[in-house]
Amino acid sequence: MLITKLILQMKQKHICLFIFSCFITWVIGQEKKDTIVETKEKQYKLFIGADMMSPLTGVWDKANGYEFNATMRLYKKIHAAIEAGYQENNYSKVNWDVDVEGMYYKIGANWSFNETDYSEDDFFYAGIRYAWVSYDQQINAYPLTIRDEDGNLTVQGSSTGLGKETLSASWIEFAIGARKELWNTNFFLDTSIRPKVLISSDEQQGVEAIVIPGFGDNINNVNGWLNVSLQYRIPVFKKTIKQE
């Protein structure tokens, strides 16, 4: 694709400007429909998908798992969304060795905008999710920080761990993304950035949550990641709508 090549060639600071201008072009380019053909029936369509990033991160990172999602347009621009996944992860920086694994669930909604004239299922969207997880955490080793008589800092690894405990956490996840039909099929590509803000987490023997399945590393209670989801469209049921 020519456009893809173009982006990769451009320097990073120009990318934002490019996206912004594309977006403006997109908005201006929207033509008002002259005549609206009212259909008597409204098609409810369920989109089920799998996140491709979740298993892929295992290639270069210790995070490994899977995530499935389902969305459905319920009312005008509002789409209900649920996501469920499993992730095992490990944190091993600064002499820590923390293993976590657990199932996480997200429930929320997307608000779609800029649907294409071509299809009402292609759009940009903004969404919000409430996510929660119950997970097992095993602290195999933890750091112990000491200073010597000259003030030099040394971080030692502990010889024993703190054992295993079941903990829970919850967070709010935002989604800003786009969905696009792939080559006139029922398959769709859905990509979104996911800023996450931790709202609750447990401590294991005083140790705050360092890494959480589905959330990732806890960096000052925020994190973010990318969802690249392959979705399939299933027509579910039709509902008759009164013509105005």
Partner 1 sequence: MKNKKTLPIVFCIALSIIIFGLQSCEDDTEICGEGTTPRLIIKFYDEATNTEISESGVFSTTEFSDYAFSSQDSIFLPLSLTNEVDTLFYQTSTDATVTDTIVLTFSRKEEYVSKGCGFKVNYYNINATLGTTSETLQKIEFNPNVVDADNQINITDETEAHMFIYF
d(CA 213, CA 217): 9
Is the separation of the CB atoms in 142 and 159 below 8 Å? no
Token output for 77: 């621009």
Q: Does 97 bind partner 1 (CB under 8 A)?
A: no
Q: Does 75 bind partner 1 (CB under 8 A)?
A: no
Backbone dihedral angles phi then psi of residue 39, each to the nearest 5 degrees: -95, 145
Q: Does 228 bind partner 1 (CB under 8 A)?
A: yes
CA 146 to chain CA centroid, nearest Å = 39
Of the candidates 47, 86, 104, 123, which one interacts with partner 1 according to CB under 8 A? 123
Of the candidates 50, 72, 84, 178, which one interacts with partner 1 according to CB under 8 A? 178
Q: Does 14 bind partner 1 (CB under 8 A)?
A: no
Task: Residue 119: name the closest of 226, 233, 237 by CA.
Answer: 233
Task: Residue 190: name the closest of 182, 199, 201, 200 by CA.
Answer: 182
Of the candidates 97, 122, 136, 165, which one interacts with partner 1 according to CB under 8 A? 122
With CB under 8 A as the rule, give the number of residues binding partner 1.
Answer: 60
Three-class SS of residue 33?
A: coil
Of the candidates 137, 210, 214, 231, which one interacts with partner 1 according to CB under 8 A? 210
Task: Residue 179: name the closest of 41, 44, 79, 84 by CA.
Answer: 79
Of the candidates 9, 35, 185, 205, which one interacts with partner 1 according to CB under 8 A? 205
Considering the complex, what minimum distance in angstroms separates the CB of residue 4 from partner 1? 6
Find where tokens 């992730």 sit.
87
Q: Does 177 bind partner 1 (CB under 8 A)?
A: yes
Please say which residue, 103 or 178, places its beta carbon nearer to partner 1. Answer: 178
Is the separation of the CB atoms in 135 and 169 below 8 Å? yes
Q: Does 19 bind partner 1 (CB under 8 A)?
A: yes
Task: Residue 193: name the closest of 229, 148, 217 by CA.
Answer: 229
Considering the complex, what minimum distance in angstroms separates the CB of residue 24 from partner 1? 11
Q: Does 28 bind partner 1 (CB under 8 A)?
A: no
Token output for 146: 């000491």
Binding region for partner 1 (CB under 8 A): 1, 3-4, 7-8, 12, 15-16, 18-19, 22, 25-26, 29, 93-96, 116-118, 122-124, 142-151, 153, 155-156, 158, 176-180, 189, 191-193, 205-208, 210, 217-220, 224-226, 228
